[in-house]
Amino acid sequence: MLFTSSSHSVFSRQSFLPIKGFLRPPILRPFPTATIRISNSRFNSPNNKLSILCFRHEEYHSSETPKPEIIDHCLHEELVQSESKDPVVTKRDLKSVFSEVANEVFNGIGKRWVVPWSAMTILKVMLLWTSAFWFIGSWMIPFAAHITGFSKDSLTFRGQALFSLVTDVTEGLAGIAILVRCLSRFRPLPPDWFKFSPKGYWQLDVIMGCLMFPLVNRLSQFNLDLLPILPSTQITLSSVEQSIKARDPVAMLLYAIVVSVCAPVWEEIVFRGFLLPSLTKYMPVWCAILVSSVAFALAHFNIQRMLPLIFLGMVMGVIFTRSRNLLPSMLLHSLWNGFVFLDLMK
């Protein structure tokens, strides 16, 4: 406890005074009645009673008590002062509580990465990856199949499943090659880049992410209601749905590998492993999660699935930024794709 200089001096004198030889401090004893004369009218005044009691530090024994009107007036003034101060204190308290909650949330999401490259490198990697994805899937693999004397439409269910697996693996390897080539001059990279490890306390985050799957389904239905498929659009079954409908076990196994293993690995490396941390150089982490999730949804080229994919990308982005580990987001991505695949099998 802090004291002023005057109070400190009073306490020190009182504590070190000898018991005999000095007069006791007058503030601790009543005033002698022989030396102090107070008129009867002034003595009976309530204000004087209060002032005398304050200076004497003793209880004033008198048959007269303060008037109720004076007590009510004092209490009313104290209540008015407390009520006038309460809103300011409440506003400050709410503001501090909200700021503390926001800080805890942002600290829970994670901090920014150390990004050694510029925005030009980010743009170059993403454009090259998108171009390679389109070129391999739409031109290179179909042209290679045409040279060998067959087309995708003429293949059996198993052949089409194998065709999809080869295409997906080729696209993923091309994306990794682009990353290695574009980031080679920045090596060695900081230790928290492209981390893949089973260690850590991320299991609960993955479980919480799985609990979001029903909400993703609701968003998918809302997206379809918001942007329905046009009646003139011809609805055809995909090769995956056709193989499931035919109940070909080999084709179904190959497609399960594509959607539950290959796609999660390649997409998480690009969008969560590279794009999201790179964006934290120019924006907050939460904003980088949102932007990378929008890019992740756009890469699927399906406007009827934009909202659920954005939300799913945000969930996986939060899990990745909390753990700084690609394995949890890959696992959640794989579980979601497997959930959709099993739903198609019904």
Same domain, residue pair 76 and 137: no
Same domain, residue pair 64 and 144: no
Same domain, residue pair 142 and 79: no
Same domain, residue pair 153 and 286: yes
> pLDDT-based confidence at 53, cuts 50/70/90?
very low
Same domain, residue pair 57 and 166: no
Same domain, residue pair 186 and 81: no
pLDDT at 82 over 60: no
Tens digit of pLDDT for each residue in 116-153? 999 999 999 999 999 999 999 999 999 988 888 887 77
Q: Between 29 and 114, where is the model more confident?
A: 114
Same domain, residue pair 81 and 117: no
Same domain, residue pair 72 and 129: no
Tens digit of pLDDT for each residue in 257-271? 999 999 999 999 999
Same domain, residue pair 117 and 210: yes
Least confident of 62-76, 153-167, 184-198, 248-262: 62-76
Residue 95 lies in a domain: no
Same domain, residue pair 262 and 307: yes
**Full-model pTM:** 0.68
Residue 23 lies in a domain: yes
Q: How many domains does the chain have?
A: 2
86, 102, 126 - which closes a domain: 86
> pLDDT-based confidence at 157, cuts 50/70/90?
confident
Residue 292 lies in a domain: yes
pLDDT at 59 over 70: no
Least confident of 45-54, 70-79, 81-90, 283-292: 45-54
Residue 96 lies in a domain: no
Same domain, residue pair 179 and 289: yes
SS3 per residue for the chain: CCCCHHHHHHHHHHHHCCCCCCCCCHHHCCCCCCCCCCCHHHHCCHHHHHHHHHHHCCCCCCCCCCCHHHHHHHHHHHHHHHHHHHHHHHHHHHHHHHHHHHHHHHHHHCCCCCCCCCHHHHHHHHHHHHHHHHHHHHHHHHHHHHHCCCCCCCCCHHHHHHHHHHHHHHHHHHHHHHHHHHCHHHCCCCCCCCCCCCCCCCHHHHHHHHCCHHHHHHHHHHHHHHCCCCCCCCCCCCHHHHHHHHCCHHHHHHHHHHHHHHHHHHHHHHHHHHHHHHHCCCCCHHHHHHHHHHHHHHCCCCHHHHHHHHHHHHHHHHHHHHHCCHHHHHHHHHHHHHHHHHHHCC
Residue 98 lies in a domain: no
71, 86, 101 - which closes a domain: 86
86, 105, 126 - which closes a domain: 86
Residue 119 lies in a domain: yes
Same domain, residue pair 215 and 147: yes
Q: Which domain holds residue 298?
A: 113-344
Residue 91 lies in a domain: no
pLDDT at 36 over 50: no
pLDDT at 228 over 90: no
